[in-house]
Structure 1
Amino acid sequence: MSRTFHQLFHIETFRYLVFGVLTVTVNIASYRILSLWLDTLPANTLAFFIAVFFAYYTNTRFVFRVPFTKKNFLQFMTMRIGTIFLDDGGMLLLLAWGWNDLFAKCVVNAVIIALNYLFSKLFIFRNKKEERK
């Protein structure tokens, strides 16, 4: 029984959300641990990169199920490095407004996860079979 594009899209989206939640968990847990020894911005930045490596592995292997390539790794890293400015900037803004650091981190991560899915799906891990149709 073959699955339609619509069914595959929902399965892939579900997998992305599951691993997205795990990536956010890695990010927040790393931040919490690192913030015991580092200031907010360095802890946030380092936690971000730990989460990015985790996300690349899980997105490639489990979500989009594409081979590891130098090209998709570089595209993924470039796109994610672009979002560090949103992550750090959003954290600084929300902290300046008096928000709790963990709550601010969760809010910022929710926005970034949506953007990352769109960029990953549309530009980095495109299914070559879908492109030919």
Structure 2
Amino acid sequence: MQTIRNLYEKYRDILAYLVFGVLTTLINIVVYWFCTSVLHWNYMLANNLAWFLSVLFAFFTNKTFVFRSKYTTVKAFFIEMGAFFFARGVSLILDDGIMFVGISLLHWSSLLTKFIDQFVVIAVNYIFSKWIFRKK
């Protein structure tokens, strides 16, 4: 039992990131699907709305549950949030680029491209999040 507890403690951040990463990805994909398939929005507009809503969810879950970053002052909160959104904004450029290449240039299925895109973006976002919420 102690071995399992030690392994959990050793990989806790990664496991929590994976759980909330899956939930964030589900939000992203479901919002994207809804906007493109039900509302018939342009895929880039749908991708950007899906990005915003999933990043908002990811900020609070990453801060609270994954990296256990403490809420201190209002100023510190907004600085951290700004850094998080800036870093995710950088990954949005990659996200939009993958979507454009997959859909407009390669003519792949919109949802297939979205799934491939999410695997790449998750890895990049983990690196950024680890830096933003680093323990002091």
TM range (shorter): 0.7 to 0.9
CA distance in 2, matches of 1:55, 1:66: 13
1:51 aligns with 2:54: yes
1:39 paired with 2:29, answer: no
CA distance in 2: counterparts of 1:98 and 1:31, whole angstroms: 17
Report the TM-score, using the length of structure 2 for normalisation. Answer: 0.85
Q: State the match for 1:83 in structure 2.
A: 91
- Separation (CA, whole Å) in 1 of partners of 2:54 and 2:10: 24
Give the TM-score taking structure 1 as reference length. 0.87
Q: Whole-Å Cα distance in 2 between the matches of residues 48 and 34 of structure 1?
A: 12
**For residue 56 of structure 2, what is the amino acid of its counterpart?**
F
Q: What are the residue-to-residue correspondences of 1:74-113 with 2, within 5 Å? A: 74-95=82-103, 96-113=105-122
User: Matched residue of 1:126: which SS?
Assistant: coil
- Quick one: distance in 1 between partners of 2:120 and 2:98? 10
In the alignment, what sits opposite 2:69?
A: 66
Kindly state the Cα deviation for residue 9 of structure 1 after the two structures are TM-superposed.
4.5
The percent identity for this pair of structures is: 38
Unaligned runs of 5+ in 2: 72-76
Match of 1:27? Answer: 28
> How many pairs were matched up?
125
1: CA distance, partners of 2:56 / 2:87? 13
Following the alignment from structure 2 to structure 1, what is the Cα–Cα distance between the partners of residues 10 and 32?
A: 32
In structure 2, what is the Cα distance between the partners aligned to 1:25 and 1:56? 15
Which runs of 4 or more aligned residues in structure 1 lie more than 2 Å from their structure 2 counterparts after TM superposition?
6-9
1:29 Cα shift? 0.2
User: What corresponds to 1:117 in structure 2?
Assistant: 126
The RMSD of aligned alpha carbons is 1.7
